[in-house]
Structure 1
Amino acid sequence: MRPFDYRRESDPAAAVAAVAADPGAAFLGGGTNLVDHLKLGIAAPTALVDVSRLDTGGVERLPAGGLRIGASLSNADLAAHPAVRSEYPVLASAVLSGASAQIRNLATTAGNLLQRTRCVYFQDATAPCNKRAPGTGCPARDGHDRYNAVFGTSGECVAVHPSDMAVALAALDARVRLLGPEGERTVPVTGLYRDPGAEPQRDTVLGHGELVTAVDVPALPMAARSAYRKVRDRASYAFALVSVAAAIATEDGVVTGARIAFGGLAHGPLRARRAEEALIGAPAVEESFRAAGRAETAGAETGPGTAAKPAMAVGALAAVLRELTSEET
C-alpha cells in the first residue's frame, strides 16, 4: 500500500474544501470498497478525508412527504428503518440483497451508490482496463463477459454498476443531494451515473470534491406495494447478473401505475420507462408483464456470455409483478 495523508473532518464544507484542494485526495466513508482498492493497488490517493463521522446520517421526513436518507447512514440501519420497510419495501429488500451482514454494518448510503464496478479485469491491477487505466484496452469485451452490460456500452468499456440500492432508488425517482466547491445541487439517481463513452474512468457526474450529503426519496403511495428480485450465481454475497425493482398500482385487475428499474444491464441502474408505458392500462396478467419486459430489453446488445440477460430480465420482472399482484388472483 502506498503512503497517504489522513484527516478526519466533522463539517461537510471543510471536508469538501480539503478534497477539492488536493487533486489526488478522496473521501473515505465506511471504506468497504475503497480500502479493498487500496489493498489491490487499484486506487492510490494522496490523501483520504474521513467523512464517516459527519452528521449526515439518519432518516427524516420531508415536508412534502417522502424521506431524506443521510449519506453516512449504514446500509444495515437503512434496511431496518420502520418507515423504509413499510413505505418502500423495495428499498429495504434491495439493501438486504447486497453483501454480507458485516459489510452492511459498515457500508454507507453514499458509499453504496458510489462503489465501483466489480468487473474482474478492473479488479485485477495486472490486467489492462480502460476504466482503471485509460487507453490500455478493455479485455472484457472478448474475455469473461458474463457480467457485462448490454445497454449503453462503448468500445472503451462494458462494465456494469453493482449497486442494488441504486436500482431501487432509481425506480423510486430518488434524488441525490451534493455539496461541492461551487455549492449545493441535486441530481436524479438515474442521472448520477455516466455511460462510459470515451471516458470510462468517469463513473459518475460528480466533480472532484463533490460530496454526497443525502438522498431524497419522494412520497410514492404505490411503493408500499413494491419488491426487489436479484438473479445471481449463488444466494449469498454475489453481484447481480440481472436485478429488478418494481412497484405497481392496479384497479379492477388493470395496471394504473408502475415504476420499474433494472440492474446488471448497464453502467448504472436502468429505469425501464418503456416497460412502464407498456403496462399502463394493460391487464395485470403474466403476458402483460412479459410483454413489458420484452419492450424494455428489445435493444440489448449481447455477447456469448450475456445472451441470456434479456430473457433473465423479462423473467425477473414477470416474477416480481406476479408476486405483487398475486393477492388479486
Structure 2
Amino acid sequence: MLDRLDISIEKFLEDRNFSGAVVVKSDDEVLKTASGFANRAEERFNDVDTRFGIASGCKVFTAIAITQLVEKDVLSFKTRLVDCLDISFPHFHDEITIHHLLTHTSGIPDYFDEDVMEDFEDLWKQTPMYHLKSLKDFLPLFQNGRMVANPGESFRYNNAGYIVLGLIIEQQTGMSFQDYIKEHIFPLADMQESGYFSMDCLPKNTAIGYIDEKDGSWRTNTYSVPIMGGSDGGAYVTAPDMIKLWEALVGFRLLDENHTTMLLTPHVRVKVGVNYGYGVWLNSGNNSIVKYHVMGYDPGVSFHSAYYPMTGVKVAIPSNRSSGAIDVMKVIEDQLELLDNQVK
C-alpha cells in the first residue's frame, strides 16, 4: 500500500519545497523520504536520519516521565504542586495538581503570553535565549505571575506548566531533566539518535532551523529559541526514532498497560472532536479515538507525528522550516484514507 503513497508524497514535497523528513510505517511496510537542506549555506541535504528540532512535540517525553514516577508510586496525578516541588510560586493556587499541569488546566501564567506578544522571538529581547540553559532559568519569566484561571477551569495551552513538571522530575529523581529522559525513555524506545543538544554545539547530521522572510531572504533560528531544550520542548529527534517512540509506547515498553491507558485517555476537551491526554492530542470520530498525535512549532521548526490506532499506521514529519509539516500530514492522511477505501 505504501508504495502507491510514496509516489504522491514525493511529488507533493517537490511542489511545496518541503524541507525535512517523512517516515510512514504500516505493519512491516515503511515509506522513508527526505528533501531540502539541513544546511543551506553548505547545501548539505536532509536525509531520513537527520536530527531535527521538534519544539513542543517532545512534551510527550515529559508526560511519560511523570507517568513513570506515578507508576513507581513516587507521585500520583492528584499530587499537589506545593507537595512535590520546593520552589515558591507566591501567587499560584495551592490546589494545582500534576494532573492540571499535564492537561494545561492549571491556570498558571505562561512565560509566552500571546495577549501581550505576537511573536515568540519577542521573548528573547528581554531575556537573551543563550541564558536559558536549565529549567530554573525559565522561572523569572513566570514565577511571580498571577493565576489566569482557577485550576481545572479550562484548557489553556501552557509551556510554563511543562517547565514546572520538568522541575518536579528533577527534584524527585535527583537528575537533570535531560539526563532522566536520556536514561529512562530513549533507551527503552531504542531512540539512539535523539537527544537534547545545545544550539551552539550541535552534533553531526543535525538540521539547522531556518526562518524565511517575506522578501525571499532567510536566516537561521539560532537567536530565536532557547539554547537548550527542556521539558516544554526543544529536543532533537530523527523521524525513525519518533516512529520507535510510538511503538514503544503502545507496546508497553515505556509504561505498563494501565499507565499507558492513563496517558492516552482523553482528559480534557479542547474543541469538538479534539481532546488532550497527558502530553498527547487525541482526535475522535464515531465515538472512538482515530488519532493520537503530537506537534511542535518554533521559529525554524515545524513537526507533526501521529499514531492511528484503527490501522496501526505511524507517521513522523519533522521539518527545519517554520511551516510545512502539517500540509504533508494532511496529504498522507487523505491518501491513506483513499487507499484504505480502495482496499475495502
Interval of TM-score (by shorter of Structure 1 and Structure 2): under 0.3
What TM-score do the two structures reach when normalised by structure 1? 0.24
What TM-score do the two structures reach when normalised by structure 2? 0.23
